[in-house]
Amino acid sequence: MKDEHIKLFKKKCSNEHLERLKTIKNDKVYDFIAKYAELCNPDSIFVRTDSPEDAVYIRKKSLKNGEEKALKTKGHTVHFDGYYDQGRDKFSTKYLLRQDEVLGSDIESIDREVGIKEVHALYKDSMVGREMYVCFFCLGPTDSIFSIPAVQITDSCYVAHSEDLLYRSGYEEFRKIGNSERFFRFVHSAGVMENNVSSDVYNRRVYIDLAEEMVYSMNTQYAGNTVGLKKLAMRLAIKKASEEGWLTEHMFIMGVYGPDDKRLTYFTGSFPSACGKTATAMLEGEKIIGDDIAYLRNIDGKIRTVNVERGIFGIIQDVNEKNDPKIFKALTTPGEVIFSNILVTSENNPRWLGDGRPAPEEGVNFAGKWFPGKKGPDDREVLFAHKNARYTIKLSDLDNCDTNLENKDGVLVSGVIYGGRDSDTSVPVCQSFSWEHGILAQAATIESETTAATLGQEGIRKFNLMANLDFLSIPIGRYIQNNLEIVKDVKNPPLVFHVNYFLRNKEGKYLNGIKDKHVWVKWMEMRVHGEAGEIKTPVGLIPIYEDLTVLFKKILNASYTKEQYEEQFKIRISENLAKIERIKNIYHTKVFDTPHILMKTLDAQKMRLEKCREKHGDYVSPFVLEKG
């Protein structure tokens, strides 16, 4: 450690915490901490180790300084973000790029030198009167080929507490790596605060420096902008994965039991928001490893994966005893839970939208004292809880958490599921012809229809390849190529499936029941092991009727008619052709590095559809295709 570092740390750290830093023995860590200790100028520095005592200290400090408040149930706390700080700030989240760097026309960026100068000016003395928390974590299980160490600097106990629930402790990991420079860095300050919340939203900044594998966050507390190891680190990891030959994906990881309930088959799944991702990952009777982000590697000719996180930062709206019994149990029994932006009743209990209980008449929420008809500072009516209200828990607190969560070797991926939301095109479940076909014709063509509740106009299709478009830090073409190349030398790649839970009839009625997804997942598990039949269609392989009747009876104790099957699984030729043209137009006009093989694959699918239409008409029954 340099003499100037020791001199600075002695001013800010106790002897105990200085010794904690000295055992790291990493010059890049010292430079990072010293730079922002001097710039942000905190009164003191707390260095977090992996000890439970350090986690307790931060939790208690968050309660003491008012960033969190204790609720009635033991271990439960609530945090409120500012009225205008309730979600990921896409406008203020930008990549710091050199003038010669290009990621894509839709990606927000700022000149690297300009951005750093700007955010450093905001950091100046931002932690005066506060304690700086230096926290060491690990993305992925520790002591693993998947591991990426990460160090977070923050002046927010709420942020540090959230990260403790969401990520593995990494202090010992940093001691092991010595002077290695392979780790991510994050620096955050809540900035100007009023009533314990960030208030200077006009100077909110979230800047991502890919060159330095570092993220800057300022004047915000909302976890999506401040918990650096989540979607912010995901952007860093996508680039790192591209350079090193593996994948960072916006995927859940779940284990699905076979017909005898003894075999457990692992799937990953990537769905845009509001398309059933969490509902699939949390299917009753199955196992969960992760709900959000996965690292995938080709290890000895097999695709293996780990959950980057150990916890869930989940949207709480509509979590109730009927729909999400496992999560609801964790949220209503003693244990460590952070609620954010819900309502707190006079009995000191949390309430949220869609929790299955009678609506409250009063309480306190992110806008202050709440009552029906309450108006916010923007003169809009305030619901009793925010639609983006969240809960933060450890996965290990869920009854259905799989024992392989901390397996440093990860789990074998047998199937990959891509989901979308469309009312008139895709069948409920379809298997691709091959890995290549799945990536190009399914994953790279995902669309999600908007709902009236979100944008005020229903049915607008939003393109979102691999459900990862918002987080890409490399060109789209390179990203697609990476997905194709990961199975190189893999003898039996995972099967690729596409699901659509939102198909409707002409009257607008959903053709799928809410629980039907469990049948589709069980069919996929059987397909992996060659235990279910298929019908070849122009767009992929679909289930045969007889297999589904057995599964509906066994899984849901429900009958499944030929009429239901035919309506759900008929191939809608015109709609599929229209989708191909929409997708091709997007790649032609917005993606400068579209792989030639993508267009070739889409054209081949178009040809199969047109040939099928010539023979069978615009809407083709699966029974007709089954006959050949």
- Residue pair 452/508 in contact (Cβ under 8 Å)? The answer is no
Residue 2 has pLDDT above 90, yes or no: no
Say how far apart CA 573 and CA 563 lie, in whole Å: 19
- The mean pLDDT value for 417-431 works out to 95
Angle between helices 27-40 and 15-22 (to 10 degrees): 140
> What is the DSSP secondary-structure string of 439-482?
IIIIGGG-EEE--HHHHSSTT-EEE-GGG-GGG--S-HHHHHHH
Cβ proximity of 268 and 253 under 8 Å: yes
Q: Is 370 exposed, middle or buried (0-12, 13-18, 19+ CB in 10 A)?
A: buried
The answer to whether residue 103 scores a pLDDT higher than 80 is no
- pLDDT reading at 262 higher than 90: no
Query: Would you call 489 exposed, middle or buried from its count of C-beta atoms within 10 A (0-12, 13-18, 19+)?
Result: exposed
Asked if residue 176 has pLDDT above 80, the reply is yes
Question: Could you give the percent of the chain with pLDDT greater than 90?
Answer: 90
Among residues 414, 478, 444, the alpha carbon closest in space to that of 241 is found at: 478
Which residues 6+ apart lie within 8 Å of 191 measured at CB?
122, 126, 198, 200, 203, 204, 218, 219, 220
Q: To which residue do tokens 């199937």 refer?
A: 415
Q: Which residue has the higher pLDDT, 627 or 410?
A: 410
The rounded distance, in Å, linking the Cα atoms of 613 and 541 is 17
Please tell me the predicted confidence (pLDDT) of residue 456: 44
Confidence at residue 452, expressed as pLDDT on a 0 to 100 scale:
40
Residue 328 has pLDDT above 50, yes or no: yes
Each residue's pLDDT tens digit, 502-513: 999 989 999 999
What does the alpha-carbon distance between residue 117 and residue 122 come to, in Å, rounded to a whole number? 9
Kindly report the backbone phi and psi dihedral angles of residue 410, in degrees, each rounded to the nearest multiple of 5, phi listed first. Answer: 75, -170
Q: Region 505-525: what's the mean pLDDT?
A: 95
- For residue range 141-167, list pLDDT tens digits in order: 999 999 999 999 999 999 999 999 999
Return the closest-CA partner of residue 583 out of 608, 609, 611, 603.
Answer: 603
Helix (H) or strand (E) holding 217: strand 214-218
Task: Please check the confidence at residue 92 and state whether its pLDDT lies above 90.
Answer: no
Specify the residue for token string 């004292």: 369
More confidently predicted of 15 and 450: 15
pLDDT in tens, 448-489: 987 543 334 556 889 999 999 989 999 999 999 999 999 999
Q: What is the arithmetic mean of pLDDT over 285-306?
A: 97
Residue 380 near residue 458, CB atoms below 8 Å: no
Closest CA to 593 of 109, 211, 244, 103: 103
Averaged pLDDT for residues 71-94: 92
The predicted pLDDT at position 274 comes to 80
Kindly list the catalytic residues. Answer: 275
Q: What is the pLDDT of residue 108?
A: 84
What tokens were used for 477? Answer: 């073409």
Averaged confidence pLDDT in the chain:
94
pLDDT tens by residue, 108-128: 889 999 999 999 999 999 999
Phi, psi (rounded to 5 degrees) for 398: -95, 140
- Across the range 541-554, mean pLDDT stands at 98
Residue 217 pLDDT level (bands cut at 50, 70, 90)? very high
560 backbone dihedrals φ, ψ, rounded to 5°: -135, 115
> Please, are residues 540 and 534 in contact by the beta-carbon 8 Å criterion?
no
CB-CB neighbours of 151 under 10 Å: 25
HSE of 85 in the Cβ direction (CA atoms, 13 Å)?
32
Q: How far apart are CA 75 and CA 210, in angstroms?
A: 37
Spatial separation of the C-alpha atoms in residues 97 and 81, rounded to whole Å? 30
According to the model, what pLDDT value does residue 260 have?
85
> Which residues lie across from 82 on neighbouring strands?
none
Q: Which domains does the chain have, with CATH numbers?
A: 3-65+90-230 (3.40.449.10), 248-308+406-627 (3.90.228.20), 313-395 (2.170.8.10)
State the Cα–Cα distance between residues 232 and 225, nearest whole angstrom.
8
d(CA 347, CA 109): 46
Using the predicted structure, report yes or no on whether residue 75 has a pLDDT greater than 80: yes
Among residues 208, 259, 262, which one has the least CA distance to residue 94?
Answer: 208
